[in-house]
Structure 1
Amino acid sequence: MATIPMDIVKDIFLRLPPKTLVRFRVLAKPYCDLIDSPDFIASHLDRTLRTNRHLMILLRGALHLYSVDLDSLDDVTDVELPMKTGGPTEVFGSCNGLVGLSNSPTDLALFNPSTRQIHQLPVSPVGLPEGSTIRGYVFYGFGYDSVNKDYKVVRMVQFKRDSDDELGHSFPYEVKVYSLKTNSWKRIETVPVMIQFLFYFYYHLLFRRGYGVLAANNLHWVLPPRPGLVVGNSVIVRFDLVSEEFDKVPLPEAIGNYDSDIQMDIGVLDGCLCLICCRDQTYADVWVMKEYGVRVSWTKLFTVQKPKSVKSLAYMRPLVYSEDRNKVLLEINNTKLMWFDLITKKLTTLRIKDCPSSYSAELVVSSLVLGCKGDPNEVKRRQQRQKRDHEDKMRQRKKRDDFLSKGFKLLL
């Protein structure tokens, strides 16, 4: 390979999946330098996004996280989560090959499942306002600010007066934004009143509804209708990652023809914001905003009837088009994946070998973002964690030995 010109090597490498490129770093130092270079990482990501290749699905079961390439569904990999487990680790979003991980509101990380690199976010404590004694629901969002070329995490914490405050709108939310470029958090001081009504217990029984949907430099959440508080239909709330301000997204004009009890959810398809309107848990209309922020660009793409394999269509969102664009992959009820044929209007279950029967899914682009060397401080942190774990084991062992020596001391 030493005789091959580097421009040809680069062209070949741009077509390869990140997992292969990680292995190729050991071939020679020039190849390692090429793969690690910011220009190559950006070019590789750009080509992947344009061609829609190297896509993987993260599958979250009851206790484990799995990954599978969309092109080869028989190759399922168990993803060993890099965060120290103090509870169930949640995946609260993905962008350009990175996923947001959360163990708690103060234990967050960005993780690249293709390169296995992680960046632990600095701890940002949650400050309870005076008069509040309990924290309620937490909303997360993760996305890319393409104007400032910065990855950002949004954390919105609901406060409650006490455990009996079920509505949870006694106090304003605490909204903080993390910037990867500065590796720091910033509090958003100007928060609209409508954010106080973002949480609704029955709507948020499905945990995914607390995770922002990324489209056009904005994160989106649905503010569900609440009797006596919000009149009419649901509202789509957006947070602009560039200006770091809140606003609303106009709904399609035809939405006024729906009953007020329509269940609305949001998603993203081909980079465009989607609106999913489920009615009577029997069918769902899928709308797409073809030109972001332009109300008249809302277009109804298709309608999905409840499949016979599920009792009710409580939740649905589109993930990706098939390569021939004749089908759309749907996540149904947060438990299964199905292909919807746009021509025949039929649903077919996506079978994945050696995978749990029930799971939620996150579509992830394979990329080299965060690099292959990862966070230089992560090695030090990992060593410190290993040292603490070793010291804990030694203390436990000493306690056990002391107990045994005292409990079984022979009297001579």
Structure 2
Amino acid sequence: MSNTHHRLMLSSTNELDELVLFDSPMPSDFPTFTINQTQLSYPDCLKIEYDSPFYVCSCDGILCFTMYSGPGVGPPVLWNPSIRTFKILPPLDNKPFSAYNFGYDHCSDKYKIVAVSLVEDREEVSVHTLGTDTWRRIPDFPYNGPFDRFGIFLSGTVNWMSFDNVSSSCVIVSLDLEKELYQTLSLPDFEKDRLIRTLWVLRDCLCIFVRNDMFLDVWVMKQYGNKKSWTRLYRVPHMDNRGLLCNYTRVLYISEDEILLMDFGKLECYQSKLVVYDSKDGTLEIPTIQNIGGWIHPEVYIESLISPCS
């Protein structure tokens, strides 16, 4: 019942190079362009045992962190910031370079963590079912492996971008969490000069961002698995901010009145910021974010009372 209560979390570092997390309700009135952030206190054991999270995904209000740990990454950590409850999952032995993806299998009523690990010249895939103590190997990732081992969860599947050598084209590889089998989804038909940016989820639809030097196009698959349902929702012009070329990374959230909250990178100074785009009048604004400055990693999640320990 709480899945409309969206929140915005920003990860950053302080002057001591320590991880800091800021959290706020998603603004109801984007034109005010002010986001009031409150610093979160995440579990002390994570501060002691690991360096910092470097990737966060979420499902049903539970955040899944991938943690730095020495030369590689540590085990995944599940954390519900709404109820301040966390769980450190069993490590994936002898696979220091793994990316973790988190989702829900509605058929078994179980949460699953999918690990994609680079092992020699292949991408091994392992699954951990929450409530058990082990990892299980499933068939390796097909094709040449994903562009990015961090996948996107939607409707009982985890999805990655990949390349099919046979057709010499990009494809979306989808893993069904119930059957633990792969299938291939087709991309939308967009202009040849467009470059693929990333997969995402918007309004409960699989989304892809493609761009050229002037625009970012936002496509959604309105009916999952149906290529004909791909629809271009928005074309966002790139922003020249004080002489610095800015490339958008993701659309994080779309309000009911068609205002987009996006993150973008300044290529010359390696910074990440937020930008608000009003699709009705085509205006772009950089919101004021209180209590935080410099580099940020934004993540939108929902409030819930679900415990990662269950």
The two structures share one fold, judged by TM-score above 0.5: yes
Say which SS state the counterpart of residue 296 (structure 1) adopts.
helix
Aligned pair partner of 1:58 in 5, 9, 30: 9
C-alpha separation in 2, matches of 1:350 and 1:241 = 38
> 1:74 maps to what in 2?
36
C-alpha separation in 2, matches of 1:79 and 1:307 = 34
Q: Which structure has greater helix proportion?
A: 1
Q: Does 1:220 align with 2:128?
A: no
- 1:325-336 alignment to 2 at 5 Å? 325-333=257-265, 335-336=272-273
C-alpha separation in 2, matches of 1:122 and 1:236 = 29
Q: 1:93, CA displacement in angstroms?
A: 0.6
1:278, 1:314 within 8 Å by CA — same for their partners in 2? Answer: no
C-alpha separation in 2, matches of 1:325 and 1:217 = 29
Q: 1:174, CA displacement in angstroms?
A: 1.9
Larger Cα-atom Rg: 1
Say which SS state the counterpart of residue 50 (structure 2) adopts.
coil
Q: Does 1:274 align with 2:207?
A: yes
1:92, 1:211 within 8 Å by CA — same for their partners in 2? Answer: no
1:91, 1:99 within 8 Å by CA — same for their partners in 2? Answer: no
Aligned pair partner of 2:63 in 86, 95, 99: 99
C-alpha separation in 2, matches of 1:98 and 1:210 = 20
1:85, 1:103 within 8 Å by CA — same for their partners in 2? Answer: no
**Alpha-carbon spacing, 1:321–1:314, altered in 2? closer, same or farther (3 Å):** closer
Aligned pair partner of 1:211 in 141, 150, 154: 150
What TM-score does the superposition give when structure 2 sets the normalisation length?
Answer: 0.83
1:111, 1:117 within 8 Å by CA — same for their partners in 2? Answer: yes
Aligned pair partner of 2:305 in 351, 368, 378: 368
Q: CA RMSD in A?
A: 2.5
Aligned pair partner of 1:174 in 117, 120, 124: 124
List per-residue Cα deviations over 1:260-293 (Å, max 9, x = no partner): x72331111111110100113x311110000000
Q: Does 1:158 align with 2:118?
A: yes
**Alpha-carbon spacing, 1:351–1:230, altered in 2? closer, same or farther (3 Å):** farther
C-alpha separation in 2, matches of 1:345 and 1:174 = 44
> 1:247 maps to what in 2?
183
Q: Does 1:357 align with 2:294?
A: yes
C-alpha separation in 2, matches of 1:230 and 1:325 = 43
> 1:410 maps to what in 2?
none
**Alpha-carbon spacing, 1:230–1:66, altered in 2? closer, same or farther (3 Å):** farther
Q: Does 1:119 align with 2:99?
A: no
**Alpha-carbon spacing, 1:246–1:148, altered in 2? closer, same or farther (3 Å):** same
C-alpha separation in 1, matches of 2:202 and 2:245 = 23
Q: Does 1:238 align with 2:174?
A: yes
List per-residue Cα deviations over 1:306-359 (Å, max 9, x = no partner): 11227334442122222x332121122381222221211222222211112321
C-alpha separation in 1, matches of 2:277 and 2:298 = 16
List per-residue Cα deviations over 1:66-112 (Å, max 9, x = no partner): 22221483242233344244322233310111001122444221101
Say which SS state the counterpart of residue 2 (structure 2) adopts.
helix
**Alpha-carbon spacing, 1:236–1:116, altered in 2? closer, same or farther (3 Å):** same
- Structure 1: gaps of 5 or more residues: 1-46, 128-134, 161-169, 200-208, 376-412
C-alpha separation in 1, matches of 2:106 and 2:171 = 25
1:65, 1:81 within 8 Å by CA — same for their partners in 2? Answer: no
Structure with greater contact order relative to length (CA < 8 Å, sep ≥ 6): 2
- 1:186-205 alignment to 2 at 5 Å? 186-188=136-138, 190-194=139-143, 196-199=144-147
Say which SS state the counterpart of residue 240 (structure 2) adopts.
coil
Aligned pair partner of 1:141 in 91, 95, 101: 101
> 2:240 maps to what in 1?
308
2:238, 2:248 within 8 Å by CA — same for their partners in 1? Answer: no
What TM-score does the superposition give when structure 1 sets the normalisation length?
Answer: 0.64
C-alpha separation in 1, matches of 2:163 and 2:87 = 33
**Between 331-340 and 295-304, the greater mean CA deviation after superposition:** 331-340
**Alpha-carbon spacing, 1:150–1:293, altered in 2? closer, same or farther (3 Å):** same
> 1:202 maps to what in 2?
none
Q: 1:148, CA displacement in angstroms?
A: 1.7
**Alpha-carbon spacing, 1:325–1:243, altered in 2? closer, same or farther (3 Å):** farther
C-alpha separation in 2, matches of 1:298 and 1:99 = 28
- Structure 2: gaps of 5 or more residues: 14-18, 29-34, 266-270
> 2:224 maps to what in 1?
292
> 1:258 maps to what in 2?
192
